[in-house]
Amino acid sequence: MGRILVAGDIHGVTSHAVTLLGIARKQECARVFVLGDFGAWEHMRDGRHYFDVVDRAARRQQLIVYFLDGNHDKSSLVRELYGEHLDDEGFLVCRKNIRYAPRGHRWTWDGTRFAAFGGAYSVDKPWRLAMEALRERKAERRRVFGSSRRPATTESLWFPEEQMTDEEFDALLAADESPVEVLLSHDKPRASAPALNRKTAPECLPNQDRIQRAVHTLRPQVLLHGHLHYRYTDVIDRGDGGLTRVEGLGADPDTAPQPGYDRADSWLVLPLPYQHDAVGEELASRAG
């Protein structure tokens, strides 16, 4: 039986990523899967360094780190750099021990069928665009005085591809509508009701509706997501008379908003092959 450590948003915080890898090793997991906002910012030097550090740490721990894209991952660059570097399971190989699950990707581990859908809406989009504009103005002043080698780039803090369009999502879903046991996403499904939800703006809802449609089509037994930075469990109707368990995971300590945050809120062990009550049993054993 395999075990996966599933983690919420890391946001490129190296110390948190390395700590999670240590936890995964202690929990006897061979894989870590990050549910978006991993820290895929290789258009910046710090982002490339982060990938290198996590890759080295994963090698030391004998782990493979997988991630799907969040709204704060530059997924277009990931596809540009690694789109032709696929492993045998269809993941993009970003480093020897780091793999990316593209939107709509499906695979099977230990007899358990998985699907991944990244992306979400950024509620801080106006701030990010304003910061990009400020950087460009500063860069323009440097260019005037000859102290800038290259212009500042747009799409450095906010990424236009942060969420799927309905057309993109429909095409991905239509490509394979067969059921899965485990659905991994960055965003929450519309029907789940966490006690703390920072993503209620009207602009957030279309992508939540897309994830809800994935639930109704793929009929997963469990859905795990990040994005809210809040740990909760819910059960929702999956549209065929059955139920889907929803596990929302917390984030790195720097961005988790709720009082009483514990690092354990940011990860969960998923035993394989997946059984409907396995997650609940795992949580009960940790609580005890």
Half-sphere CA count of 8, side-chain side, radius 13 A: 27
Residue 156, domain member (yes or no): no
- Residue 66 pLDDT exceeds 70: yes
**Coil, helix or strand at residue 48:** helix
| pLDDT range class, residue 260, cuts 50, 70, 90 | confident
Asked if residue 15 is part of any domain, the answer here is yes
Quote the domain boundaries for residue 74. 2-121+179-287
**Is 166 contained in some domain?**
no
Q: How far apart are CA 157 and CA 193, in angstroms?
A: 29
Position 164 scores a pLDDT of 95
d(C-alpha 184, C-alpha 172), whole Å: 15
More confident residue, 241 or 148: 241
Query: What pLDDT score does 255 carry?
Result: 84
Using alpha carbons, select from 279, 280, 287, 198 the residue that is nearest to residue 6: 279
- CATH number reported for the structural domain that contains residue 22 in this entry: 3.60.21.10
Host H or E run for residue 270: strand 267-272
At residue 257, does pLDDT exceed 90? no
Does any domain span residue 74? yes
Task: Note the pLDDT tens digit of each residue in 207-242.
Answer: 999 999 999 999 999 999 999 999 999 999 999 999
pLDDT tens-digit map of 74-92: 999 999 999 999 999 999 9
Look at residue 31 and tell me if it is in a domain.
yes
**Residue 147 placed within a domain:** no
Q: Would you tell me the crossing angle of helices 205-218 and 166-175 to the nearest 10 degrees?
A: 10
Q: Is 69 exposed, middle or buried (0-12, 13-18, 19+ CB in 10 A)?
A: buried
Burial bucket for residue 256 (CB in 10 Å: 0-12, 13-18, 19+)? buried
Burial of 177 (0-12, 13-18, 19+ CB in 10 A): exposed
- Which regions of 2-128 does DSSP assign to beta strands (E)? 2-7, 31-34, 64-67, 92-95, 98-100, 106-109, 112-117
Assign 149 a pLDDT band (cuts: 50, 70, 90).
low
Q: Which tokens is 127 given?
A: 């701030």
Q: Does 116 have pLDDT greater than 80?
A: yes
Query: According to the model, what pLDDT value does residue 286 have?
Result: 53
Domain count, the chain: 1
Residue 264: inside a domain: yes
Residue type, 49: H
253: pLDDT strictly greater than 70: yes
This model's pTM is above 0.85:
yes
For residue 22, give both structure tokens.
Answer: 């240590």
Residue 155 predicted with pLDDT over 70: yes
Q: Is residue 113 part of a domain?
A: yes
